[in-house]
Amino acid sequence: MFHLPPPRKRGEVSLEEAITRRRTVRSFLPDAVDLSELSQLLWSTNGLVDPSGRRAIPSAGALYPLEVYVAVGREGVKGLEVGVYRYVVEDHALLRTLDRDVRKALAQASLWQMWMAEAPITFALCAEYKRTTVKYRERGLRYVMMEVGHAAQNLFLQAVCLGLGAGIVGAFYDEEVKSVLSLPEDHEPLLLMPVGHPA
């Protein structure tokens, strides 16, 4: 397990400025992302905000069905090896699940949107539906969709605050993405978000 630097709880960009500047980015420079930036992005997307277990996003029944993976390209993050990592929320750490660069394969699985492969990192926001549906049944599916929207917007806004850009991709072949990322059977990909320095 790779422990990340602690996240900052105070930034230099106001929420209003971040909302105003947020744009979908589809063109990236080859520059690597700093480890501290990756830490901040992960924390904002699904990290703990207090010792009681509350996270950066609201979740129906505090059941937290989301799992966040990040595909790191060669020299994509300073101080981190290439591969796919699962974010371990409780430890603010990364668990490496694959040791190869899958960005091109992810782009191909996303209807050949090859611009995605230019980004140094790509987030995969996934859900384990049964965590929510066990309590809320079919209605739980709607709650999971709401939650991934909260997570994606947090990621977008945090990227802006760090001087980075993010894209968002919902058009992909689910089973191919699961295969490329080697996801567990019950982790369903909902959104892919390439992140890096805007070109």
pLDDT at residue 73 is higher than 90 = yes
Q: Which domain holds residue 117?
A: 2-196
**Count of domains in the chain?**
1
Average pLDDT over residues 154-160: 97
- pLDDT the model gives residue 128: 97
pLDDT at residue 63 is higher than 90 = yes
CA dist 102 to 13, 34, 114, 175, 179, Å? 32, 20, 12, 15, 11
Q: Could you read off the pLDDT of 32-42 as tens digits, one per residue?
A: 999 999 999 99
Provide the CATH number for the domain around residue 103.
3.40.109.10
pTM of the prediction?
0.96
Give the percent of the chain with pLDDT over 70: 100
* Separation between Cα atoms, residue 138 and residue 134, nearest integer Å: 9
- pLDDT the model gives residue 199: 95
* Separation between Cα atoms, residue 101 and residue 16, nearest integer Å: 36
Residue 112 structure tokens: 């050949």
pLDDT at residue 1 is higher than 90 = no
Give the percent of the chain with pLDDT over 90: 97
Q: How confident is the model at residue 162 (pLDDT cuts 50, 70, 90)?
A: very high
- pLDDT the model gives residue 88: 98
Q: Could you read off the pLDDT of 93-126 as tens digits, one per residue?
A: 999 999 999 999 999 999 999 999 999 999 999 9
